[in-house]
Structure 1
Amino acid sequence: MHTSNQDDREAHDDPDHDAYWTENDVEDPGRPTNTPNNLPRTIGIPAALPSLAAGNPKAKPTIPRQFPAPEKRLTPRKDFSSVYMDTQTEASPVLPVRSVALKDVAQRLPAPPLPPPACPPRIRQSWDQMPSQNQQLFVDAVALAMDRGFHQLFVDIHADTLITNEAHNNVLFFFWHRKFILGYENMLRSLGRRFACVTLPFYDYIQNNLDYLLGKCTSLESCSPFLAGLGGSTNGSFSSTLLGGFAFPHFKCVGSAPVSHACEAPGTPRCMHCMPRGPWTRTHFNSTALSYSSIKRVLFQPDDDIYSVTMRVERSPHDTMHFLLAGAVANFYITTTDPVFYGHHATIDILHAIYHHCRVHPLKLTKEQAYNHPINFEPCVVNGTTVDATSTIRLRLPIDGVPTSVDEYAVTRPWFQHVPLTYGDIVDTTNLGVHSYRY
């Protein structure tokens, strides 16, 4: 039990009591005195503190977009540039910490954005070899890209090739798609610090086909962890809802992640939240076209050139897999709606990387020689115009009905910044500057 005398003695010995400082004839450095020049200061946020929205750029007006295809199959969408730019430039006030109370307030305010983490060298892996946390990271990134409308922009970009004719049925096939999927990968990396080092997986259907031949599995889906990891083909129902102007009444619309986030027109009720997919559990591999021996014959023929190799790869395994997968992936207007597309084309990209490593690297060509060497690149004529190694890779999307370069549109520009502009400069995946990558 304490007495009043005991309390007095404790007060004189305790620096938290005023009696301690009076008796010792010193000033408490942590306590303001009540002199006229040093009145008690009100604890709180200074009146001059800017609001969280201060300094943000004013949102730009919505700009309707329309895909100028002959049949106008794709639905116009709004311009996302203002949303994206506001997100990138959001102000975060820095509060000077003047007291314990203000420090506590500051801790509850948004911190200034951290710089992006330093990523290791960009190495794309087979989905089958990726750690499970990296697989989930990719699925989550695609889902978020769909929610924000960024994924759909790449549907528009790829659909534009049906007008320009640069991406298919010619020697530009490998190189156009290389820039396209690299931009998509960069877009996923831009979604936040968590995704800053994400890489595209490749769908190793050549090994999966071998597993099928060896009897380790019985169908396209059971042999392909990549397909199962991106939602498979069974969780859904048949639907006649249009996707990009096309109906898929005979295909199940799968509603598993990440395609449960699929939306043709983000911000509107026109969101399917599912993806038309083929019956993968009842589909068998094309064991002949996808065997290792077939792929070797496709890539390496005596006295071959890049044009011949490109034409063979585009026919098979490229076309073979598109039609084997069926559903939305088999429709070239909207094939990129399904994220399975990107794993498939990463595999096509690695086939060219193998060819380039085995056939072009040993030649030790100078840049000028490589531009004109038939093993490395050959000019072609597209829509009456000659396209050579110095020609710009045309990736466009319709903005307000006008085809606009991805290098000029405010939303897509950051994803393609520093990616080579010309065909001759994107032939080697290990020589793309900050965007170089390996498999």
Structure 2
Amino acid sequence: MNSLQFLEFVASDEPKYLVRLLGSDIGSLPKDRYLHWDQLRHLPPPEGFTSLDWWTAVKFKRMVSRHELPFKDTRGKPFSFSDTGNLYSRLHQVDRDASGRIEVPHGDMVNSGSRERYLMNSLIEEAITSSQLEGAVTTRRVAKELLRSGRPPRDNSERMIVNNYSGMGFLRENIDEELTVPMLMDLQRTLTEGTLDPDVVGRLRRPADVVAVVDQRDGEVVHTPPDAGQLRDRVELLLDFANGRTEDDPFLHPVVKAILLHFMVGYDHPFVDGNGRTARALFYWSMVRSGYWLTELLSISTVIQKAPAQYVRAYVFSEIDDNDVTYFLDYNLRVILDSIRLLHAYLVRKAGETSRLEAMLRGSDAALVLNHRQVALLGHMLKHPDASYTIDGHRRSHNVTYETARTDLHALDKMGLIVKYTGGRRWIYRMSDNFEDRLKRVVAP
């Protein structure tokens, strides 16, 4: 039921009944869920009312709290959102958890030297799952090996993953820049180069480009984007919105703004391909730019991939129910909070693993294969995984000869615990990628 049908229904009914209906407080939903009519009509209505009564009260409550946005659909009707339900409660949770510290046992690991390692892992995870959402076919193991090794991609799926990884890096480099047409084109080019006809990379759709949004699972057309002739103006509006220059634009919560960027790129579909990847990448850019730095450590596509139908449904419901983007906001806020919970669980798990490894290093079995200097060095690496070491630095730390220090590091290199590379005229040593597994093999009882 759209707004016109709703008003017709209200106008056709008895005034006394409407007073009873709208004064009954049945406009709320179970657990403040933001449900569409297709979902609500399958639930038992409140006692004494029909499903249509219930939906009428829900729609009225949403209409009176509606905020119009500067964006319009292909017919010129504005998009809007309602502040009913858990919207602001969830925004408060994101404010609390995505812009500050995450405390875990044994210290604040996110704010330590471990952050870059976690960032690398999250960028890899997001590159893989965002590509898989767009049809890339590869295993997570192969994809991680591809990105960590830096080898050339072997097929289109691997190229898509490499491009997504590069795209996230591109946005990190431009986090302080305003979003411009050239920057948007460069982002799309980075995300799609080598996977599309070169003629359609890094440019907007043209009238000859026939594009429809289909559900990757069954090929069903779920959205027909605006005509190519409208794209210049629509993209300019999108850029003004992203940069905070929209005329007569009231304050919007930064997280709402980031999610709306995601939505509108998906709706406008300005490119022949790569729109979903571009939309999700711009969400990250907007969030981090607004001070939600922890977003860099999240992989929203990992959560989306678990139930992709819900992602599609959030788009569709927003379009068919009077351009009410609250469906998309509600869905994405839940995705963000789920991603934060996954990150927290991961950090707690890693903190526990680090504590166990430290205990192993202090145990008697470690003394059988490692001397006290090597144990001290490995213990430091556990706390500072991005640190680098030299023979001379190790020599001075333990007041030993150069040859003794060299022998210590050479032995750790042979065990696979550290790797060496040249830094000018000397060797530089760092923790190996599979450090934890190697250490368990070396010192485990």
The TM-score normalised by the length of structure 1 is 0.24
Structure with higher Rg: it is 1
The structure where helix makes up a greater share of residues is 2
